[in-house]
Structure 1
């Protein structure tokens, strides 16, 4: 049974973190590049290299490595075999919040099978370690003579080190070994580091199949049934079948999506349908994408003839390739479109692929990922529930990933990132995940995500809020924690930003050569797969399940919950019109006589002075807008479970939403759901049919389907034309207005004459089977 939501449990909360950007600081200020996060102090140790290390093995060599110890924390470099002059160039970062020591110890050891040998050490007093604040240059490493266990200098052996105190704004922070990940193996450290990713540049490949000439089917006694199959990677497009000719013509467009660098060629196959589910290849050509011209504007690319290759197999042996026939194609890479690499309308980038069409940026988006609280345990370790959380933020082609905080349900990241903004009507998405890969195997589990639309933010204001992380599970809607963010959107020119509101949302080619709905959906799916595949090959990889969740993959699958949510969204939009209609009905029925009299006076003024109608409407809208300013949203938008209809959904509807596609359920469950879908579809069918009926009745007024009704209407139109010609418009408007506003004692309970006439008009529903 789903637990009812607690009031305020899923609400956004304003916070007051100690950040420089909000006017509050704790300790030393961070550099201006990190003013949206709380300052975190670290002790950095850079182990560069060593020289002239003494031999410890019986063979006369040593296998050196370095231990860096501060209190209970210890970091270790990798070891080198048989090398007395090793180079590590490794950085260790120890969080000063957890340090309970006054000394830093750097120990050089010799790797051994049983017990590692001590070579030498260096010790530092932490109170004497200098501070470094960017943009100061990095601290230069120095040579230190190694000491023995008693503190005396040894005869040979030096190590080059740099030790300083800094913050997360330091350049060494992203690639450093962190003390809060001390339990992570050296191999697993790679999978917990923060990184910045760039999604690949995506292009449309448009193939216009025009015609073929001189096709040679194997059976000369029959005319071929020809179609063209175009393949690009795992994308396949096929033209219609053209029957009974060896010179078919199609002039059909097939569109694909690809990513730079181009790895796979375009394969064109001309096929003959020789039987049921059996095709014979009449010719084939392979075209590298690097040879295809790029199209940045609306100028058409000239078509070209391509030779079709055909392999002959005689007695089991493939003989030489022959140019059997030709195909006429117009192929181009189109960069004048915005390649939709997202699955929904949550677009974060509306720029085309071609740099030639890019406009200058209008501002800067800055995001501070501060911390999370109350995260749900996503896995079990040592019998206890735990979470290894990291954040992913996506805006435009730039994806960012914070470092993973191991074993904490209240992680603190305090990492800041920025993006250039080219359009304010875009959305940034921030997701929180549990890292399931750093120990090998497993999947990254979604904890929740947040979307923020930039156009809802005031410029140059820092928004510091704690956003609820909400996921929909088979057991119902659940809050899995909160993430604390700081967001600032600053614009370089307010005029340029306002000018963006007058420009087309998408590039010109979207409107000159629009894609069909089916093409758009297919290309979105293929683009998502391309982005997922490329980011999965990065280091550390951004896994497929993360990319698909951030891009809302599969959101177009039908569900009862989404259908209800969209229905209530429509009703909410229409509620204003319904309220106006009810208010006007009350005016007409004199529910408030004083208001009705005032409406009569206003109506007479507008009829006598019609030039005041439009100014009055706009003035009324102005006052409504000023009045509504009092209720202007004070917080950025966030996930709304009531709007999503997630707080009132049954278990069977949830089970249906999480079912695979195609379904994996048994026949009884599918039959029940099919019957329910037929019931819902029946109601929708009735509403659509009613709307069609009213429209057909309007058409029938002059279509003479009912000769008597059409004759009455045509005659009435003629009479009204003469009346309106000789009667002033103000007089007609006054009579009509006073008739509509007449007192209830002059009204009848029965429907009016025009309504009775309209309801008797014929529709085409009597022609339906």
Structure 2
């Protein structure tokens, strides 16, 4: 890879990085095998390479010997074999399991399907009979043809003599478009794992993340509390699951303390926990007295999708205690608490960074708008993956891919022990906003146990950078940053296509607000958003971890970029250089003006004098000339427009020039794990917390500048086309309408009465916020 690693005392972890190693490479795979392959649902499998598989469906058995015990079926093809689950002493056992084998891996001419008795294994002859098929003479089936009907086959012994019993089987040659493919036991993988849990952990699956809501609890006041005589610092503590939030202490000297404070949580549907509020009184240092509590089931809380006012309610307080015999007692108290509780579905729950979110819709379904297109992703193959673990004394990688867009997560099957895996799996998502990002990650499967699934790398693709209807096939480099520096872990080959229902529906999205209405009418604070995002991440990782096979916590957190907003010298440098690139245009203008003043080029200086006189004599042409210049620059930049989707830029991320001590600080835990004096540790953590906010602000400034620069960069072809059309219309309007009229209209519009104003952002602001920045190219 062209890099020399230094020791801890060196200045740079990575001295020399070969740009070709980290470049995006376009590929020309034979998608669909040169034709469209349909499945039973009519979806075209034209985004992946065709792979042929030999399928064996084992349905059931009959007429078995009376002395048969726990029977199972073993499928053997050369050196690969796998077996069904055993059925205990049945008269007509049923399995209905499918086994598959990739055609390129078939190295034996025959498929042997044996019925065996588990109780005879120790005797050395556990076979009750065998059915043999010629692997080169099985029928071929291509969906949407109906599945091949299974047949009854008689069993033969090793001497090819007929024995008692029959097996119902179906054997055919198909592709990965076959409906039996997702649930099939792949012989080349199943031979390396135990049937059951081991095989289940390597299958491809689709996951749906839970719908997330913001729970808003407005604590107003409490009445008739039994307070102590000299202590009146009363506060309310709200609990949902393991999350605890508390109000500030009320300093009221009366028995009716007031707070009028909002407490917010992120909760996932279906709701499993109750909202429990404890009213407590501070009676001494680190000593609180319990005054009462109330429980509110989340299923009973009102769901709202807009900013309409809520009706407040009084809730009776009670005290829970446990008697000496272990029985729980609930005592009703005279006190009560005044609350407004709602589930706010009008927000987009930020489970990702807003700069490259994959879903910008509100939670409430009644606010959803129709989809504007379809995103198709073909996960083709990996290349030159790095060994991630040691197995039998050799390096090994069991790779699988995870892709996330909106609520839908997908996981490909795991390819066992291969540095060049071939998945060739295709998935589809509905698109509701083109200014979103799909994330694809590659991981090494640890097959459960106490080990963690190791990350191999991640790719982000912005939909607005894709031409509609075009299939992009590229080899994306996989990079991981570690305390030792940036390292290329291999490559992943993807095919991506964004198909819009109509160009008008896609272009109309650019003038709409980026986030739902409640984000603007009732905005949340920065610190509040960070806390709620952390809760959302924990809910999503917990729910997906309960699926079978589970999507592990480390995988979900890596896909959601958990911890990416923490302080890092490397990220701060990256944002600094991004900002410097944005303002470099102003510096170039200053240098050009200095050249004009110094008469370094007399022709340019004379032309500048003439242009200056024209602007002075005809000031109404200034705006039109500016739009003409912008149109000309945009037209000129069309020749050098990006031809490929954006990808992770190592130099932009400053990963190639990171210092060893900078990486040590970046990978340090928060709070710090270094053993230092407690005061110094607290100051250090506080500095990192403040610096992370400054880093975010610096990044936001750079993002806005990059969006302005993106007006003419053709990175989002549709947005640049709209802006250029606006330049033409604006130029024509300024030539027809008097400049004074335009200025007066603009001034009166800017100073219009509040009755004629809306709290929602204007269309130009929405358009600017939808323009792509370079955040999706950061590592």
- Within the alignment, does 1:355 sit opposite 2:365 as a pair? yes
TM-superposed CA distance for 1:278, in Å, is 1.3
Query: For residues 482-516 of structure 1, what are the alpha-carbon distances to aligned partners after superposition, in whole Å with 9 as ceiling and x for unaligned?
Result: 00000001100110000000000111111111111
Among 529, 546, 554, the alignment partner of 2:538 is 529
Structure 1 518/314 Cα, relative in aligned 2: closer, same or farther at 3 Å? same
Structure 1 315/172 Cα, relative in aligned 2: closer, same or farther at 3 Å? closer
Among 40, 43, 50, the alignment partner of 1:39 is 50
Among 424, 435, 440, the alignment partner of 1:425 is 435
The match for 2:590 is: 581
The match for 1:10 is: 22
Structure 1 312/433 Cα, relative in aligned 2: closer, same or farther at 3 Å? closer
Q: Give the whole-Å Cα distance in 2 for the aligned partners of 1:177 and 1:644.
A: 42
TM-superposed CA distance for 1:314, in Å, is 10
Q: Give the whole-Å Cα distance in 1 for the aligned partners of 2:288 and 2:29.
A: 67
Among 43, 66, 81, the alignment partner of 1:74 is 81
Q: Give the whole-Å Cα distance in 2 for the aligned partners of 1:319 and 1:173.
A: 56
TM-superposed CA distance for 1:254, in Å, is 1.1
TM-superposed CA distance for 1:61, in Å, is 3.2
Q: How much is the aligned-residue C-alpha RMSD, in angstroms?
A: 2.6
The match for 2:413 is: 403
Q: Give the whole-Å Cα distance in 2 for the aligned partners of 1:503 and 1:446.
A: 37
Query: For residues 258-295 of structure 1, what are the alpha-carbon distances to aligned partners after superposition, in whole Å with 9 as ceiling and x for unaligned?
Result: 00111100011111111111111112100000111110
Q: Give the whole-Å Cα distance in 2 for the aligned partners of 1:165 and 1:259.
A: 44
What pairs up with 1:221-620 in 2 under 5 angstroms? 221-243=229-251, 244-310=253-319, 321-343=331-353, 345-438=355-448, 440-620=449-629
Q: Is the contact made by 2:37 and 2:44 (CA closer than 8 Å) also made in structure 1?
A: no
Q: Does the residue aligned with 2:558 lie in a helix, a strand or coil? A: helix
Q: Is the contact made by 1:62 and 1:84 (CA closer than 8 Å) also made in structure 2?
A: no
TM-superposed CA distance for 1:62, in Å, is 2.5
Query: For residues 595-633 of structure 1, what are the alpha-carbon distances to aligned partners after superposition, in whole Å with 9 as ceiling and x for unaligned?
Result: 111111112112211221111111100000011111111
Q: Give the whole-Å Cα distance in 1 for the aligned partners of 2:93 and 2:320.
A: 59
Q: Give the whole-Å Cα distance in 1 for the aligned partners of 2:150 and 2:419.
A: 37
Q: Give the whole-Å Cα distance in 2 for the aligned partners of 1:370 and 1:51.
A: 42
Structure with bigger gyration radius: 1
After TM superposition, the score normalised by the length of structure 2 is 0.83
The match for 2:104 is: 97
TM-superposed CA distance for 1:680, in Å, is 14
Query: For residues 539-563 of structure 1, what are the alpha-carbon distances to aligned partners after superposition, in whole Å with 9 as ceiling and x for unaligned?
Result: 0000000000000001111011011
Q: Is the contact made by 1:92 and 1:176 (CA closer than 8 Å) also made in structure 2?
A: yes
The match for 1:110 is: 117
The match for 2:769 is: none
The match for 2:719 is: none
Q: Give the whole-Å Cα distance in 1 for the aligned partners of 2:131 and 2:208.
A: 42
The match for 2:166 is: 158
Q: Give the whole-Å Cα distance in 1 for the aligned partners of 2:688 and 2:238.
A: 41
Q: Is the contact made by 2:672 and 2:681 (CA closer than 8 Å) also made in structure 1?
A: no
Q: Is the contact made by 1:44 and 1:93 (CA closer than 8 Å) also made in structure 2?
A: yes
Q: Does the residue aligned with 2:511 lie in a helix, a strand or coil? A: coil
Q: Is the contact made by 1:271 and 1:280 (CA closer than 8 Å) also made in structure 2?
A: yes
- Within the alignment, does 1:50 sit opposite 2:47 as a pair? no
Structure 1 47/513 Cα, relative in aligned 2: closer, same or farther at 3 Å? same
Among 39, 47, 62, the alignment partner of 2:69 is 62
Unpaired stretches in structure 2, ≥5 consecutive residues: 1-5, 7-12, 698-738, 741-779
TM-superposed CA distance for 1:213, in Å, is 1.2
Q: Give the whole-Å Cα distance in 2 for the aligned partners of 1:231 and 1:486.
A: 46
Structure 1 375/670 Cα, relative in aligned 2: closer, same or farther at 3 Å? farther
TM-superposed CA distance for 1:525, in Å, is 0.4
Unpaired stretches in structure 1, ≥5 consecutive residues: 689-728, 731-769
Q: Does the residue aligned with 1:44 lie in a helix, a strand or coil? A: strand
Q: Give the whole-Å Cα distance in 1 for the aligned partners of 2:437 and 2:685.
A: 36
Q: Is the contact made by 1:54 and 1:62 (CA closer than 8 Å) also made in structure 2?
A: no
- Within the alignment, does 1:84 sit opposite 2:91 as a pair? yes
Matched positions, count: 675
TM-superposed CA distance for 1:202, in Å, is 0.5
Q: Is the contact made by 1:205 and 1:331 (CA closer than 8 Å) also made in structure 2?
A: yes
TM-superposed CA distance for 1:579, in Å, is 1.0
TM-superposed CA distance for 1:239, in Å, is 1.4
Q: Does the residue aligned with 2:654 lie in a helix, a strand or coil? A: coil
TM-superposed CA distance for 1:27, in Å, is 8.5
Structure 1 85/677 Cα, relative in aligned 2: closer, same or farther at 3 Å? closer
Q: Taking CA–CA contacts closer than 8 Å with sequence separation of 6 or more, which of the two structures ends up with the larger relative contact order? A: 2
TM-superposed CA distance for 1:113, in Å, is 4.2
Q: Give the whole-Å Cα distance in 2 for the aligned partners of 1:322 and 1:149.
A: 79
What pairs up with 1:23-38 in 2 under 5 angstroms? 25=33, 33-38=44-49
Query: For residues 531-590 of structure 1, what are the alpha-carbon distances to aligned partners after superposition, in whole Å with 9 as ceiling and x for unaligned?
Result: 000000000000000000000001111011011111111111111111112212222332
Q: Is the contact made by 2:68 and 2:117 (CA closer than 8 Å) also made in structure 1?
A: no
Q: Give the whole-Å Cα distance in 2 for the aligned partners of 1:344 and 1:407.
A: 37
Structure 1 672/302 Cα, relative in aligned 2: closer, same or farther at 3 Å? closer
Among 115, 121, 141, the alignment partner of 1:132 is 141
Q: Is the contact made by 1:30 and 1:39 (CA closer than 8 Å) also made in structure 2?
A: no
